[in-house]
Structure 1
Amino acid sequence: MKIFCGIDWASDHHDIALVDADGTLVARARIPDDVAGLQQLLDLLAEHGDTPETRIPAAIETSRGLLVACLRATDRPVYAINPMAASRYRDRHTVARKKSDHFDAMVLANILRTDTAAHRTLPADTELAQAIAVLARAQQDAVWDRTQAANKLRSHLREYFPGYLAAVQPILGGLCSSAARALLAAAATPGRAARLTKTQLRAALKRAGRQRGIEAEVTRLQAVLRAPQMRQLPLVEDAMGHQALTLLRKLDAACTSADELAEAAVAAFETHPDADIVTSFPGLGSLTGARVLAEIGDDRSRFADARALKSYAGAAPVTRASGKSVSVKARRIKNQRLAAAGYVWSFASLTASAGARAHYDRRRTTGDRHISALRNLFNRMIGCLHHCLAKQVHYDETMAFPSRLEPIFTAAA
């Protein structure tokens, strides 16, 4: 008898419901979120026919957490159901707007009973791929946190210290650079900055790791910081300087976290068997490659074809037809992390690949905007990546852009 399991999870307990092929509830339980609860769940599944050869599938509204990890370790099919989809299914079973944990568990079990083919199991990625995903996503979050911290600091400095923003604007990396942060730590107000000597400026740059062009940079910084600018009242200026140092400490922590996680993600990625294939693509370094591999995984059966991967990445457009009306629009529902990595990848490939540049220019000539042209280029590149990973071959420019190489080389000549 076919059995389906639904799990309504919470922070401290989980509700379990088992239904058969006819939708009849055959078992229910509430288990704690600990080892004893996990064993209780496994025993309950075993009582209803769960064996190593025929695992009972489980549906749950999350893809993370210890319970999900332990269920995946038993090699059973685990379906992560979108909470919005589960909410729509709930309306099929009741017209009342009531909600209970046990009822939600039954809804999840019935989703597998009726529409298993419409949902996908969690990918069977290797342990290394899962570790890369943890590190790459954490590093991407750290980069976003760093950008947010830098924007907050920039907005605050604009209110009382515009001269500092003018001084660090030519520095590579802007506010996030070590030189800019060391300079602000040495003098957080216009008054203190104007009194900085060349010796103090030189010491700040050396603490930040600068080794070349120090004297010229010291002269430029001193001239900019001593230039006349609008000022707040003295006491207000000192108070805003204290606030700037607080925001600076947050930015320092975000920068350190992003750098350390980047090193760890790259180190783990470079040990993966697919790393050489991924980085053979133009515009894909180890860090961006780690982000791409983190989202697509190394389970080759996850995507049936290149079109499925393109849709998952948001690179393929959506065509909607109703009567005589047909519209083609950009895909909004997608993996946002993979789409963000795809933008970086496609933009970097413009200077690394003649074929990619020719493809981008052709799309721009036909009327595409910058973002649309990059998305179309990403669509082509990720399709090539799917092929290369499936066939275990490296990127070949002549195969990826067979008709785009000759014109650009001729023009360059």
Structure 2
Amino acid sequence: MNNIKRKFAVHIGLDWANKKHDVCVQIGDSKTRSFEVIPHLPEAIDTWLHKLHVETKGDIAVAVELTKGPIVYALQKHSFVTVFPIHGLTLSQYRKALYPSGAKDDPMDAELALDMMLNYPDKVKPLKPSSGDCRALALLVEQRRALVDDRRSNANKLISALKQYYPQPLEWFSHRDSELFCDFLIKWPTLESVKRARNITIEKFFMARGGNSLSNITKRVEGISSAVPLTEDNSVILPHKMLTIALCKQILTLIQNIRVYDKQIALLFKSLPDAELFESLPGTGPCLAPRLLAALGEDRTRFNNAQEIQNYAGLSPVTERSGQKSWVHWRWQCSKFIRQSFIEWAAKSVGISYWAGLYYAQQRAKGNTHQSAVRSLAYKWVRILYRCWKTKTPYDESKYLKVLRERNSPLLAA
């Protein structure tokens, strides 16, 4: 009898859906299994779990094809429930191995999840939730990124709209998703409207906002004075003018919401004991440090070596061999957001970390593209981060450079 069978009184495989969940239940060491359908309602899930707990007087193990989401949160609410997440691709391949015909239904997937949890305890490990603050941070940084992506998407739509009737602002401004750009377009959404404005009015608009806008006032005023309309067809101008104003208002709302997220993320991040460690990493800053902390979490037993983090983050290339053929490709099965976090951090570190700058330059000198060089650097950074994270030691650039010199690293000999 394996450890998981000794520890839990009930073993459940669960196939989730938006409105209901198919479950396969095995009590203790019994070979008998029962199938149920549980509505996706908090009350129904609670009643079902409490009934099982009272009847068996023991803890419950649930295998599910998720690491987060409504059903996982509903299960984790109960101290007597342990969640065993199973990777969706793993379950799919397991199903194909047992049913080559391609047969599939929800009760079958629930039973397969149960089988995997019981038969492969070394592969299917229990989900160990981090502290409440760390879990909240993980959700917040992902949601913030979604808002940033929405802002970029609206900015692209705005650029497209301006090209149809009023392209000059694209020359006058370099940041097309900024408050300054949107405020300008809301105030003067057409070339005709801005050309009617007096120069002193335009100058006051930029002076009131300060910053970098002050250095470009003269250039922008001259550009407005010499600008010629792309079109004078009101049937083109009116619809695109309305779209421009609408998109600008959406971008401004997103900017405000992102700031609210930034404040909450900073507050949670500072409260976590690993904050100093992730702040010490060159190039992380207030945006990437919380994302990296959320990616690794607080459980030091989660990863046994740096390679596991590299695989988890999608930074390790995958080699496939068949006969005499061999090819290497990008790792597809990973969290794109987490991979993006590591790669963005590596890119930021190039201008801050001495050795990272040298490594990037060497990769470029070999003929690698920028993206390839940054991915290689991220792969290398993970080894350093793993060591710091495992030992709870903040990164120290001078110590790392000393180690490189002692090892006569070719990186410093370049």
- Cα displacement string for residues 130-166 of structure 1 (whole angstroms, at most 9, x for unaligned residues): 0111111111111111111101111111111111111
What's 1:292 paired with?
292
- Which of 56, 61, 66 is the matching residue for 2:60? 56
SS of the residue corresponding to residue 314 of structure 1 reads coil
**1: CA distance, partners of 2:71 / 2:387:** 34
What SS does the aligned partner of 1:57 have? strand
1:38 equivalent to 2:45? Answer: yes
Per the TM alignment, residue 94 of structure 1 is displaced from its structure 2 partner at its CA by: 5.1
How much has 1:254 moved relative to structure 2? 2.1
Aligned twin of 2:221: 222
Q: Does residue 374 in structure 1 map to residue 377 in structure 2?
A: no
Aligned positions, number = 402
1:312 and 2:312 correspond: yes
Equivalent position amino acid for 2:261 in 1? L
% identical equivalent positions: 25
User: Using the alignment, how far apart are the partners of 1:305 and 1:23 within structure 2?
Assistant: 38
Residue 181 (str. 1) matches residue 182 (str. 2): yes
Structure-2 change in CA distance of 1:326 and 1:372 (3 Å)? same
Cross-structure match for 1:384: 384
User: Does the CA contact (< 8 Å) of 2:60 and 2:80 recur in 1?
Assistant: no
Contact 1:149 1:254 in 2 (8 A): no
3-state SS, counterpart of residue 22 of structure 2: strand
Cα deviation for residue 5 of structure 1 reads 0.5
Kept in 2, the 8 Å contact 1:23–1:113? The answer is: no
- Residue number in structure 1 paired with 2:205: 204
Asked whether the 8 Å contact 1:150–1:175 carries over to 2, the reply is yes
Query: Does structure 1 retain, via aligned residues, the 8 Å contact 2:166–2:191?
Result: yes
Query: Structure 1, unaligned stretches of length 5 or more?
Result: none
What RMSD, in angstroms, separates the aligned Cα atoms of the two structures? Answer: 2.9
Deviations 1:101-143 (A, max 9, x none): 4333223222222334333433431111101111111111111
> 1:83, 1:329 → 2: CA distance?
20
Question: Residue 120 of structure 2 aligns with which residue?
Answer: 115
Shift of 1:217: 3.5
Tell me the distance in 2 between the aligned counterparts of 1:260 and 1:182. 20
The amino acid across from 1:236 in the alignment is V
Give matches, 1:78-89, under 5 Å.
78-89=83-94
Distance 1:343 1:109 in 2: 36
Please, which of 13, 35, 42 is the counterpart of residue 28 of structure 1?
35
Matched residues in 1 for 2:296 and 2:56: separation? 33
Deviation at 1:387, TM superposition (A): 0.9
Range 90-99 or range 118-127, more displaced: 90-99
Query: Cα offset for 1:196?
Result: 2.0
| CA spacing shift, 1:59–1:128, aligned 2, 3 Å | same
Q: Is the Cα–Cα contact under 8 Å of residues 277 and 395 in structure 1 kept in the other structure?
A: yes
Instruction: Select between 380-389 and 362-371 the one with higher mean Cα deviation.
Output: 362-371
Superposition pairs of residues 190-269 of structure 1, within 5 angstroms: 190-205=191-206, 209-210=209-210, 214=214, 217-226=216-225, 227-269=227-269
* 1:144 corresponding residue in structure 2: 149
Contact 1:354-1:408 within 8 A present in 2 as well: no
Deviations 1:216-241 (A, max 9, x none): 54332222123224224134212221
1:67 aligns with 2:71: yes
Whether the aligned pair in 2 keeps the contact of 1:4 and 1:56 (CA below 8 Å) is yes
Distance (whole Å) between structure 2 residues aligned to residue 204 and residue 287 of structure 1: 30
Instruction: Report the Cα distance in structure 2 between the residues aligned to 1:85 and 1:406, rounded to whole angstroms.
Output: 40
Name the SS of the counterpart of 2:350 in structure 1.
Answer: helix
Q: Answer whether contact 2:84 2:125 (CA < 8 A) is retained.
A: yes
Larger deviation: 121-130 or 72-81? Answer: 72-81
- The answer for the alignment partner of 2:172 in structure 1 is 167
User: Structure 1 406/273 Cα, relative in aligned 2: closer, same or farther at 3 Å?
Assistant: same
Give 1:97 shift: 5.9
Q: Do structure 1's residue 154 and structure 2's residue 159 form an aligned pair? A: yes
TM-score (ref. length: structure 1): 0.87
Structure 2: unaligned runs, 5 residues or longer: none
Residue type of the partner of 1:6?
Answer: G
CA distance in 2, matches of 1:188, 1:276: 46
Q: 1:21·1:113 contact (CA, 8 Å) conserved in 2?
A: no
Q: Deviations over 1:337-367 (max 9, x none)?
A: 1211122211111111111111112222333
Distance 2:211 2:102 in 1: 67
TM-score when normalising by structure 2? 0.87
Task: Say which SS state the counterpart of residue 270 (structure 1) adopts.
Answer: helix
For 2:161, give the aligned amino acid: H
Q: Distance in 2 between matches of 1:406 and 1:95?
A: 51
CA distance in 2, matches of 1:387, 1:212: 41
2:146 maps to a residue whose letter is D
- 2:132 maps to what in 1? 127
Q: Distance in 1 between matches of 2:80 and 2:394?
A: 31
- Offset of residue 180 of structure 1: 1.0
Q: Distance in 1 between matches of 2:28 and 2:272?
A: 41
Partner SS state of residue 271, structure 2? coil
SS at match of 1:359: helix
SS at match of 2:197: coil
**Which residue type is aligned with residue 9 of structure 1?**
W
| Deviation (angstroms), 1:48 | 6.7
Q: Distance in 1 between matches of 2:102 and 2:212?
A: 68
CA distance in 1, matches of 2:313, 2:128: 16
From the superposition, tell whether residues 406 and 92 of structure 1 become closer, same or farther in structure 2 (CA, over 3 Å).
closer
Q: Secondary structure at the match of 1:27?
A: strand
